[in-house]
Structure 1
Amino acid sequence: MQIFGVDIGGSGIKGAPVDLDKGDLAQERCKVLTPQPATPDGVAEGVRQVVEHFGWKGPVGLTFPGVVTGGATIRTAANVDKSWVDTDARVLFGERLGGLPVTAVNDADAAGVAEMHFGAGRDRRGTVVLLTFGTGIGSAVFTDGRLVANTELGHLELDGHEAEKRASSKAKDDHELTWEQWARRVQKYLAHVEMLFSPELFIIGGGVSRKAHKFLPLIEGVRAEIVPAQLQNNAGIVGAAMRAAELR
Structure 2
Amino acid sequence: MTKHRGFGIDIGGSGIKGAYVDLQTGEFATDRYRIPTPQPATPEAVADTVAELVAHFEVPSSVPIGIDFPAPIIHGVAPMIANLDPSWKGLNVEDLFTKHLDRPVRVVNDADAAGYAEVHYGAAAGRDGLVMVLTLGTGIGSVLVMDGVLVPNTELGHVELDGRDAESYASSGVFERDNLGWEEWAKRLQRYFSHMEMLFSPEVFIVGGGISKKSKKFLPLIETRAPIIPAELQNTAGIVGSALLAAEAAGEFTLDRGTKKRIKKARKEIRAAKKKAKEKVKNAAKAS
- Normalising by structure 2, what TM-score? 0.70
Looking at structure 2, the residues matched to 192 and 81 of structure 1 have their Cα atoms a distance apart, in angstroms, of 35
Q: How does 1:162-201 map to 2 (within 5 A)?
A: 162-175=165-178, 177=180, 179-201=182-204
Alignment correspondent of 1:69: 74
Conserved in 2, the CA contact under 8 Å of 1:179 and 1:214?
yes
1:84 and 2:88 matched: yes
1:208 and 2:211 matched: yes
Alignment correspondent of 1:144: 147
- Cα shift readout 1:152-192 (whole Å, capped 9, x = no counterpart): 21222345543334444444455555555544443332222
Letter in 1 for 2:160: E
- Cα shift readout 1:44-87 (whole Å, capped 9, x = no counterpart): 455445444434344320112332233x2223435555543321
Question: 1:142 is paired with a residue of what secondary structure?
Answer: strand
User: CA separation of 1:143/1:36 partners in 2, compared to 1, >3 Å: closer, same or farther?
Assistant: same
Identical residues among aligned pairs (%): 53
Looking at structure 2, the residues matched to 149 and 233 of structure 1 have their Cα atoms a distance apart, in angstroms, of 20
Question: 1:69 is paired with a residue of what secondary structure?
Answer: coil
Q: How does 1:10-89 map to 2 (within 5 A)?
A: 12-32=15-35, 39-41=42-44, 43-44=46-47, 47-48=50-51, 50-57=53-60, 58-70=63-75, 72-77=76-81, 80-89=84-93
Gaps of 5+ in 1: none
Question: 2:25 is paired with a residue of what secondary structure?
Answer: coil
Larger radius of gyration: 2
Conserved in 1, the CA contact under 8 Å of 2:189 and 2:222?
no
Provide the alpha-carbon RMSD of the alignment: 3.1
Looking at structure 1, the residues matched to 111 and 169 of structure 2 have their Cα atoms a distance apart, in angstroms, of 18
User: CA separation of 1:44/1:181 partners in 2, compared to 1, >3 Å: closer, same or farther?
Assistant: farther
User: CA separation of 1:165/1:25 partners in 2, compared to 1, >3 Å: closer, same or farther?
Assistant: farther
Match of 2:102 among 78, 99, 104: 99
Looking at structure 2, the residues matched to 243 and 195 of structure 1 have their Cα atoms a distance apart, in angstroms, of 29
Looking at structure 1, the residues matched to 182 and 223 of structure 2 have their Cα atoms a distance apart, in angstroms, of 17
Alignment correspondent of 1:117: 120
Looking at structure 2, the residues matched to 160 and 11 of structure 1 have their Cα atoms a distance apart, in angstroms, of 35
Alignment correspondent of 2:224: 222
Match of 2:244 among 229, 235, 242: 242
Looking at structure 2, the residues matched to 189 and 52 of structure 1 have their Cα atoms a distance apart, in angstroms, of 44
Looking at structure 2, the residues matched to 3 and 82 of structure 1 have their Cα atoms a distance apart, in angstroms, of 30
User: CA separation of 1:177/1:28 partners in 2, compared to 1, >3 Å: closer, same or farther?
Assistant: farther
Provide the aligned length of Structure 1 versus Structure 2.
Answer: 245
User: CA separation of 1:85/1:237 partners in 2, compared to 1, >3 Å: closer, same or farther?
Assistant: same
Shift of 1:140: 1.6
Conserved in 2, the CA contact under 8 Å of 1:2 and 1:19?
yes
Looking at structure 2, the residues matched to 94 and 211 of structure 1 have their Cα atoms a distance apart, in angstroms, of 40
Question: 2:232 is paired with a residue of what secondary structure?
Answer: coil
- Cα shift readout 1:7-55 (whole Å, capped 9, x = no counterpart): 2345654331111121111123234555677554454455445444434
Question: 1:199 is paired with a residue of what secondary structure?
Answer: coil
Looking at structure 1, the residues matched to 121 and 93 of structure 2 have their Cα atoms a distance apart, in angstroms, of 27
Alignment correspondent of 2:271: none
Alignment correspondent of 2:255: none
User: CA separation of 1:246/1:191 partners in 2, compared to 1, >3 Å: closer, same or farther?
Assistant: same
Conserved in 1, the CA contact under 8 Å of 2:117 and 2:241?
yes
Looking at structure 2, the residues matched to 46 and 15 of structure 1 have their Cα atoms a distance apart, in angstroms, of 11
User: CA separation of 1:16/1:160 partners in 2, compared to 1, >3 Å: closer, same or farther?
Assistant: farther
Higher helix proportion: 2
